[in-house]
């Protein structure tokens, strides 16, 4: 590509050949990108610093599990899809640049249009992720006597005699589950109580009375006295309810622990978040890193759109080259490049 050619010196700068045989615009774009990369490098390094300085940090697979149009549980799937869309929009951009080198205007228009579309989908997805992150889970996190706990399940009420009863389509699954964040414990409590009750008895409304146990098959994994895992089998499907240590062996005790909680966080803002009650910086970094990147994507979409309009108007045909597409392409690839790092350091590791 870079062969030596005789150049009409009246057309180039007075120093002769352009430095590095690159145009001024392209060089400056590279210099801008290097400085911008340092901004992102700084943010990610600060993130690593904050994270290594504290005892615990949330696991992304446990925070980002939602997928639009579903209420299912898909750890990291949506963010992986966003990553893929951004990579593909980078591919369409490089194809637009390639078409520009052949002065194939129609090709440039089509590929650039797809790039703008991919970028817009990414920004929209980012907005959805933010909204989901800010609103938080169904029950949030609570501060109990035993420390902060994430409320994974919460479905109970009292009957006339003051017993705790469970509701739901699968009363044997509906329960109260607290996952403790502090004190080196990460656990699902409540399930051990099930192991001690093998027979079911229902009240008049068909709801299970806790004190009298449950009527579902249970597979108990134990080494003598200690229960280490408990599978509940419902319609042939196994639900692993309990792994590792258990703090409370009594439903009522657990309900009391929950009801005695002194603080509650739901969702996330700049001062507190339910994903990491002891590390508020987690949400700050989420907002700043993905926000700064999202703003880059947004401006990239706008720039690509403006250049697309110029291509359609024929500005670059009369100029004789499509180098402007290449310059905005550099910026767009950079936005993709940054996301590759954000994806690894914020979501995967």
Under rule CB under 8 A, residue 25 binds another protein:
yes
**Residues 118, 110 contacting (CB under 8 angstroms):** no
Q: What is residue 139's DSSP assignment?
A: S
Q: Which is nearer to another protein, 13 or 295 (CB)?
A: 13
Task: Give the SS3 label for residue 215.
Answer: coil
Q: Contact with another protein (CB under 8 A): which of 39, 103, 219, 238?
A: 103
Under rule CB under 8 A, residue 321 binds another protein:
yes
Shortest Å distance, C-beta 77 to another protein: 7
Q: Contact with another protein (CB under 8 A): which of 135, 138, 240, 319?
A: 319
Under rule CB under 8 A, residue 38 binds another protein:
yes
What burial letters (b/e) apply to 90-129, b meaning 16+ CB within 10 Å? bebbebbbbbbeeeebeebeebbbbbbebbbbbbebbeeb
Shortest Å distance, C-beta 136 to another protein: 19
Under rule CB under 8 A, residue 240 binds another protein:
no
Q: Which is nearer to another protein, 251 or 332 (CB)?
A: 332
Q: Which range binds another protein by CB under 8 A, 162-170, 246-254, 263-271, 333-341?
A: 333-341
Question: Considering only CA atoms, which of 322, 347, 339 is closest in space to residue 94?
Answer: 322
Q: Contact with another protein (CB under 8 A): which of 136, 247, 324, 346?
A: 324
Q: Contact with another protein (CB under 8 A): which of 26, 163, 170, 207?
A: 26
Under rule CB under 8 A, residue 22 binds another protein:
yes
Site for another protein in 135-194 (CB under 8 A): 184, 186
Under rule CB under 8 A, residue 341 binds another protein:
yes
Shortest Å distance, C-beta 224 to another protein: 26
Task: Give the SS3 label for residue 318.
Answer: helix
Residue with tokens 């901004």: 39
What are the backbone dihedrals phi and psi of residue 161, each rounded to the nearest 5 degrees, phi first? -90, 5
Q: Contact with another protein (CB under 8 A): which of 67, 94, 164, 256?
A: 94
Q: Which is nearer to another protein, 9 or 135 (CB)?
A: 9
DSSP string, 246-300: -S---HHHHHHHHHT--EEE-SB-SS-BSS-TT-THHHHHIIIIIHHHHHHHHHH
Taking the C-alpha atoms of residue 96 and residue 102, their distance in angstroms, rounded to an integer, is 10
Site for another protein in 43-62 (CB under 8 A): 45-46, 48-56, 59, 61-62
Q: Helices (H), strands (E): how many in the chain?
A: 10, 9
Shortest Å distance, C-beta 49 to another protein: 5
Q: Which range binds another protein by CB under 8 A, 133-141, 188-196, 292-300, 314-322?
A: 314-322
**Residues 58, 282 contacting (CB under 8 angstroms):** yes
Q: Which is nearer to another protein, 156 or 343 (CB)?
A: 343
HSE at residue 130, side-chain half, CA atoms within 13 A, is 19
């Amino acid at each position: 590509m870079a062969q030596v050619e005789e150049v009409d010196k009246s057309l180039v700068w007075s120093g002769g050949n352009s430095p590095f045989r690159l145009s001024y615009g392209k060089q400056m774009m590279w210099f801008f990108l290097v400085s911008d990369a340092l901004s992102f490098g700084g943010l990610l390094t600060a993130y690593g610093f904050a994270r290594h300085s504290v005892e615990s940090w949330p696991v992304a697979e446990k925070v980002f599990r939602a997928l639009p149009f579903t209420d299912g549980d898909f750890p990291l799937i949506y963010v992986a899809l966003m990553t893929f869309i951004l990579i593909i929009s980078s591919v369409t951009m490089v194809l637009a640049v390639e078409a520009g080198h052949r002065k194939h205007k129609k090709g440039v228009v089509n590929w650039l249009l797809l790039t703008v579309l991919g970028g817009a989908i990414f920004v929209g997805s980012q907005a959805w992720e933010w909204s989901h992150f800010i609103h938080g889970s169904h029950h949030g996190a609570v501060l109990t006597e035993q420390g902060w706990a994430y409320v994974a399940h919460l479905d109970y009420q009292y009957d006339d005699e003051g017993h705790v009863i469970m509701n739901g389509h699968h009363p044997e699954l509906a329960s109260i589950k607290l996952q403790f964040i502090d004190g080196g414990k990460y656990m699902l409590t409540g399930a051990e109580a099930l192991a001690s009750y093998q027979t079911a008895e229902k009240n008049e409304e068909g709801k299970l009375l806790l004190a009298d146990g449950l009527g579902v098959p249970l597979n108990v994994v134990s080494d003598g006295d200690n229960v280490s895992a408990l599978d509940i089998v419902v319609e042939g499907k196994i639900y692993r309810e309990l792994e590792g240590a258990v703090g409370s062996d009594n439903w009522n005790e657990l309900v009391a622990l929950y009801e005695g909680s002194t603080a509650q966080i739901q969702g996330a803002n700049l001062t507190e978040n339910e994903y990491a009650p002891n590390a508020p910086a987690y949400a700050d970094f989420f907002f700043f890193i993905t926000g700064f990147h999202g703003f880059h994507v947004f401006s990239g979409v706008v720039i690509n759109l403006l250049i697309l309009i110029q291509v359609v108007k024929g500005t670059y045909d009369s100029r004789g080259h499509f180098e402007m597409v290449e310059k905005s392409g550099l910026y767009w690839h950079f936005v993709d490049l940054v996301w590759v790092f954000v994806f690894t350091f914020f979501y995967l590791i």
